[in-house]
Amino acid sequence: MYDDIIKQLEERAKRFGPMRDANGHAKVHGECGDTVEVWLRIDGGKIRKSSFLTDGCGYSKHCCSTAICMSEGMTVGEAESLSGADVLKKCDPIPPDHFHCADLAAETIHEAVESFKSGPVKGWKPKLFRR
């Protein structure tokens, strides 16, 4: 049963991959061993565009995709208040042993917002776009 759910979640992952015009970026390593990377484009105090990468399981991808979708249109303050519990409400069903995936997604968004507030993302360019 869960294998089918995992496959569906992986197929539905949206906004997966680096973003060229990001002005907020964070990479967070979770205690579970997963790594989540988030890119945000913030204009006029609102998140206009976002994307992510993770090396985690299907639940991690689902939580990240959901958190990213939730964050778009939020103000910086609203994004800073986004919690793992908020993400879980939108991700149902997630087994309890994977609740940490939602926390990791929310935490990475918080770090990307902090990166934005610290100033422009300097010197970062995804390998895909290097010449």
Q: State pLDDT tens for residues 73-104.
A: 999 999 999 999 999 999 978 999 999 999 99
Q: Quick check: is 114 in a domain?
A: yes
* Largest interatomic CA distance in the chain: 45
Q: Quick check: is 7 in a domain?
A: yes
Residue 131 has a pLDDT of 47
Q: Is the pLDDT of residue 12 over 70?
A: no
CATH classification at residue 59? 3.90.1010.10
Q: Quick check: is 87 in a domain?
A: yes
Q: How many CB atoms lie within 10 A of CB 48?
A: 13
For the segment 57-79, the average pLDDT, to the nearest whole number, is 94
Q: Give per-residue pLDDT as tens, 99-131.
A: 999 999 999 999 999 999 988 755 555 555 444
The domain in which residue 80 lies consists of 2-119
Q: Quick check: is 72 in a domain?
A: yes
Q: Quick check: is 127 in a domain?
A: no
* Among 29, 40, 89, CA closest to 63: 89
Q: Quick check: is 97 in a domain?
A: yes
Q: Is the pLDDT of residue 4 over 50?
A: yes
Q: Quick check: is 124 in a domain?
A: no
Q: Quick check: is 82 in a domain?
A: yes
In the chain, the number of structural domains is 1
For the segment 45-53, the average pLDDT, to the nearest whole number, is 95
